[in-house]
């Protein structure tokens, strides 16, 4: 399954809350404003220290627990609301995907978990998520708190580099939500001719559609096309797989 049930439900809830479906290519800025308690901030040549300075100028003494560096995007969430910072100098396709990726983090890794906890324990659990008090015994052992970040929630969309398996899994899920928002799999496959006998031709066609119709960055479109073709049994043959290595 290309998108797990929880992520699929998150995408459906997003468009239901938005009240309208944006035509392609989507930039998501208007839908995010309608559907989520999130503001999108563009800063030129996004660097972490500039995000800190932006917040300090507005009375928020926040500091990242890492060295300053350039990133494509940054999500900061607190109190059930969020700020998505994006590199205003990036081209439209990169900025489009950054917004979708950080929105994916906000929806799946922060907002829905926080809402589920409030539904289970009541509004007072928000104090735990916001780092204003420690969880009691019942809250600590309950699965809804497992693996979640308490206090100020931050996620960075790096310009390169890897991470451990846990980080990769979280980032991969955010990517999948982002792609489902920008270029839903069924919509993509309906617009591309994947009948070519050669895998390279099928991938080239799908990548072209993703670039031209859905406005995805080149690297993202190439990776997504490979994943989509594999999900519908149109990936490379055994012989082609050997040639690709």
Domain layout of the chain by residue ranges: 5-182, 184-245
More confident residue, 194 or 97: 97
| Residues contacting 104, CB < 8 A, separation 6+ | 173, 174, 175, 176, 177, 178, 181
Task: Identify the three-state secondary structure at position 231.
Answer: helix
Share of the chain above pLDDT 90, in %: 48
When the pLDDT of each residue in the chain is averaged and rounded to a whole number, the result is 85
What pTM value is reported for the model?
Answer: 0.88
pLDDT in tens, 23-50: 999 999 999 999 999 999 999 889 999 9
pLDDT in tens, 132-155: 777 776 666 665 565 566 667 788
pLDDT in tens, 97-106: 999 999 999 9
More confident residue, 47 or 159: 47
Which whole number is the average pLDDT over 157-167? 58
Task: Identify the three-state secondary structure at position 125.
Answer: helix
- Contact between 103 and 29 under an 8 Å Cβ cutoff? The reply is no
In the sheet with 81-87, reading across from the earlier edge strand, the strands are 38-43, 81-87, 73-78, 153-157
Tell me whether residue 138 is exposed, middle or buried, using C-beta atoms within 10 angstroms of its C-beta: 0 to 12, 13 to 18, 19 or more.
exposed
């Amino acid at each position: 399954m290309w998108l797990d049930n929880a992520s699929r439900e998150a995408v459906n809830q997003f468009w239901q809350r938005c009240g309208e479906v944006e035509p392609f290519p989507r930039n998501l800025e208007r839908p995010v404003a309608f559907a989520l308690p999130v503001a999108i901030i563009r800063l030129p040549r996004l660097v972490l220290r500039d995000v800190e300075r932006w917040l300090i100028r507005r009375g928020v003494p926040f500091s990242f627990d890492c060295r300053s560096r350039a990133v494509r995007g940054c999500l900061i969430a607190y109190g059930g609301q969020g700020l998505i910072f994006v590199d205003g100098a990036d081209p439209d396709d990169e900025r489009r995907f950054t917004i979708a990726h950080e929105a994916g983090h906000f929806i799946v890794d922060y907002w829905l978990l926080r809402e589920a906890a409030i539904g289970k324990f009541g509004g007072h659990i928000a104090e735990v998520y916001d780092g204003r008090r420690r969880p009691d015994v019942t809250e600590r052992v309950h699965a809804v708190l497992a693996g979640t970040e308490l206090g100020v929630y931050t996620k960075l969309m790096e310009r390169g580099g890897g991470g451990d398996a846990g980080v990769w899994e979280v980032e991969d899920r955010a990517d999948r939500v982002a792609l489902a928002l920008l270029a839903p799999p069924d919509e993509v496959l309906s617009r591309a001719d994947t009948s070519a006998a050669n895998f390279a031709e099928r991938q080239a066609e799908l990548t072209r559609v993703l670039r031209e119709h859905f406005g995805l960055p080149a690297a993202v479109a190439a990776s997504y096309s490979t994943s989509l073709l594999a999900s519908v049994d149109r990936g490379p043959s055994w012989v082609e797989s050997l040639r690709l290595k």
